[in-house]
Amino acid sequence: MEKFALACINKRKIVLAIVCFFTLLLSYPAFNIDVKTIFEDLQPTSHKYIKTHEEFKNTFGGTNIITFMVVAKDKDIFNLNVLGKVQGITQGLLKIDAINEFQIYSLAGKKLKEVKASTEGIESRPYMWPNLPQSEKEISELKQAILKNPLVYGPYVSKDLKATLITVDFFDDLLNYNLAFDQAYELAKQFEDESVEVSVVGNPILYGWVNHYLPETMNLVLLALSIFLVLLFIINRTWRGTLLPLISGAVSAIWALGISQLCGIHFDPLVVVIAMLITARAVSHSVQMITRFHEEIDLLGDNLCSKIAARLTLKDLLRPGLLGIATDAGCVAVVAISPIPLLQKLVILAVVWVSTVAVSAVILTPVLLSWVKKPNSYAHGLNLDVILIRPVLNLCVKVVETRARYAVVFIAVTLFMVCGYYSLGLKVGDANPGSPILWPESEYNEDSAKINKKFPGADRMFVVVGGERENQVKEVEVLNTMLRFQTHMEAQPQIGGTLSIADILPEVNKTLREGNTRYHELGENTLVNGELMYMFENAAEPGDLDRFVDTERRNASVTLFFTDRKGETIQTAIARINQFITDNPLVNQVQIHLAGGVIGVIAAVNEVILSGQIQSIALALFILVIMCIAVYRSSIAGMFFMAPVILSNLVTFAFMSWQGIGMNINTVPVAALGIGLGVDYALYICDRIKSEYEKGHSYIESISTSIHCAGRGVLVTALVLIASVCVWFYSSLRFQAEMGLLIGIWLSVSALSALFLMPALAYIFKPKFIFSEEKRRPAL
């Protein structure tokens, strides 16, 4: 290490040139990185649900559906004004880019039809396409026709007749969320007035909102950066103490973003908080370097000794610095086991980013410091060291010296047990109805709540009932199984309703029997059902049955409408589907395949996260322990450094559980990063205690020096970062605010345990890997 440190400082110009060269080289791709969210990236491609979803999404319903709800403010929707607006929105949909015009369902569209008996059999005609009803009589007839059709009255026209839905699906590969978001809202606003209210929901809208808040997100990043710089300037009182950490953060950001862009990885605005977290680590390492440099230069007491001070700093901090970075990268890399592309891409970004910190903070900062002279004066007179920092650090030392150290351990153990208990309540998946990305009072979540109040549910899942043979879904046993399945599923309160071809055939049958409701049932045998389906098809247009059955009648869909996306709701539904499959193994060689649609995809994601939850945490801890054991050559070291990591994560998990924040795809990387990053502070403190003890200092002296030097760096970075993380509370994206809060808590617990708990533990247990007698010089 000494050789490496010497080489870096001696060839500092070359090192600097190389860093500058790569920074310049990567600047262009870094600034041109794609900032976007792709819902498909959430899909764990190898999961069986996703395979079903991909196979049938184009006909049975994809994930990118936009739902418009038109609500009449007076009476009901059955007047020319409101119906005209429904028609206007339906026609306006055709102007939205990337829509699948064969998947528009609206009273004013071609797909929703009235089925009637006539002298020639069954006749079906659209409710109000191409023309609106012209008179009060025709409006009344329209109303009666809708009331009669349970496939429309309920799913597309609300029970109180005050609202109607218009849904549209998109071609996934052509969809641009921003464009769809803008065009959909423009359309909605165009028709909204004092007589009607239009609500809009759907994945393209949700991710459109995330992108909509991108400028705000950028402003918050800038604000956080400003707060961070100002605080650093106030505390460090030197320009170098302010600018060098900034340079470290900037260099690693440019390298990471540039490399990601070159690897074809886009930047998801939802992970901006994680990006900040990693940048924070770069800054943290840099501040440690500067603090140590000041200390060394103070000891040397000569302006000409900058190079020596920088070399000593680099030599001493290289081990904890690199170990910290290696554990960070190792722990976060574990997340890549997950088959979710978003997480895999995020892991590449995070690992690259964390690794760049090794250059930008651990090497570049001392190299730059080697040109810096000892400060003759400070940039301002406010000395927070005296007022705040030193008293806190003195308190830390005092705690270790006195019996209060036992109190600290006792508090930590209590916290460990209490938070451990509460952590068990942590939910997988979204813990609240509505989207957890946005605030409950956001326009999107309010619209979503309104739609779920009026209709059976805006979010859908489809399961495929099918087999190998053609015309299999016409068989009476298969159709009966579908109906029994639907009955079984509707017992769950959060499933507002279900829909399948087995709902249509009884309607056709009843219509053929003069509307006699005693014949509201499937045909008695396969032949009759085949005829019923044929009659419906004959009356309909080609493709009208596509959302229910495929053209060969091999596979049929059952669509389930969910009133919320909560993890528990989806888990319960999946478990109930599996229970039904177990109870009904094979009906005429027909199988039930899970699961497509938005809820199907979320179910797959939640299952992957759930099964990977323990895996990623256990393996991240495993990597941490192994690295500590390898570096300190002591098995005790692995255990010792687990303490702050487990504590900070348990506190964070308990807080998530208490606040109802679910462990979902957005929070998993934060948790894994937390394990790796949680150990950094402790590593610096313990490493310094070790090196001081090796110099011949006593236990307390070593601990005191470490707390006042490395501990200062910990306290300063923690204070500055916690303050700058606070700006995220004001984000319009609830997810960012919550992540900001979690990182704030996690930073606080890590810093406090590094400052109070670790020195206390070190003093009480005196582990050999810290207090080694082998290399110790005689006592001073």
Contacting residues toward other proteins, per CB under 8 A: 147-148, 150-151, 153-155, 159-160, 428, 456, 480, 483-484, 486-487, 490-493, 496-499, 503, 514-518, 520-521, 524, 568-569, 571-572, 575-576, 610-611, 613-616, 618-619, 621-622, 625-626, 629-630, 633-636, 638-639, 642
Longest dimension (CA), the chain: 111
CB atoms within 10 A of CB 284: 30
Pairing mode, strands 163-170 and 65-72: antiparallel
CB atoms within 10 A of CB 55: 15
Of the two residues 35 and 147, which places its CB atom closer to other proteins in the complex?
147
Closest distance to other proteins from the beta carbon of 758 (Å): 17
Closest distance to other proteins from the beta carbon of 102 (Å): 24
Closest distance to other proteins from the beta carbon of 772 (Å): 12
Of the two residues 48 and 159, which places its CB atom closer to other proteins in the complex?
159
Closest distance to other proteins from the beta carbon of 522 (Å): 10
Of the two residues 436 and 456, which places its CB atom closer to other proteins in the complex?
456
Q: How many angstroms separate the CA atoms of 216 and 198, rounded?
A: 26
Of the two residues 117 and 214, which places its CB atom closer to other proteins in the complex?
117
Of the two residues 136 and 160, which places its CB atom closer to other proteins in the complex?
160
Q: How many angstroms separate the CA atoms of 541 and 327, rounded?
A: 61
Of the two residues 219 and 634, which places its CB atom closer to other proteins in the complex?
634
Q: How many angstroms separate the CA atoms of 210 and 103, rounded?
A: 25
Closest distance to other proteins from the beta carbon of 515 (Å): 6
Closest distance to other proteins from the beta carbon of 81 (Å): 22
Q: Please state the three-class secondary structure of 358-387 as a single string.
A: HHHHHHHHHHHHCCCCCCCCCCCCCCHHHH
Of the two residues 391 and 660, which places its CB atom closer to other proteins in the complex?
660
Of the two residues 551 and 615, which places its CB atom closer to other proteins in the complex?
615
Of the two residues 551 and 635, which places its CB atom closer to other proteins in the complex?
635
Closest distance to other proteins from the beta carbon of 147 (Å): 5
Of the two residues 261 and 498, which places its CB atom closer to other proteins in the complex?
498
Pairing mode, strands 65-72 and 99-105: unpaired
Q: Whose CA is closest to 279, among 740, 721, 723?
A: 721
Q: Please answer whether residues 202 and 174 qualify as being in contact, where contact means their C-beta atoms are separated by less than 8 angstroms.
A: no
Q: Whose CA is closest to 737, among 440, 535, 539?
A: 440
Closest distance to other proteins from the beta carbon of 617 (Å): 8
Closest distance to other proteins from the beta carbon of 569 (Å): 8
Q: How many angstroms separate the CA atoms of 773 and 230, rounded?
A: 44
Of the two residues 204 and 767, which places its CB atom closer to other proteins in the complex?
767
- Phi/psi region, residue 713 (left: phi>0; alpha: psi -120 to 50; beta: rest), is alpha
Beta-bridge partner residues of 113: 126
Token pair of 736, please? 């960012």
User: CA 250 → CA 256, 283, 315, distances in Å?
Assistant: 10, 9, 24
Closest distance to other proteins from the beta carbon of 488 (Å): 8
Beta-bridge partner residues of 170: 99
Q: How many angstroms separate the CA atoms of 396 and 405, rounded?
A: 9
Residue bearing tokens 């803008």: 182
What lies within 8 Å, CB to CB, of 203 at 6+ separation is 39, 63, 64, 65, 598
Q: How many angstroms separate the CA atoms of 608 and 611, rounded?
A: 5
Closest distance to other proteins from the beta carbon of 428 (Å): 8
Give the up-direction half-sphere exposure of residue 670: CA atoms within 13 A in the CB hemisphere.
31
Closest distance to other proteins from the beta carbon of 751 (Å): 25
Q: Whose CA is closest to 321, among 354, 274, 350, 298?
A: 354
Q: Please answer whether residues 647 and 412 qualify as being in contact, where contact means their C-beta atoms are separated by less than 8 angstroms.
A: yes
Q: Whose CA is closest to 86, among 125, 133, 154, 123?
A: 133
Of the two residues 178 and 572, which places its CB atom closer to other proteins in the complex?
572
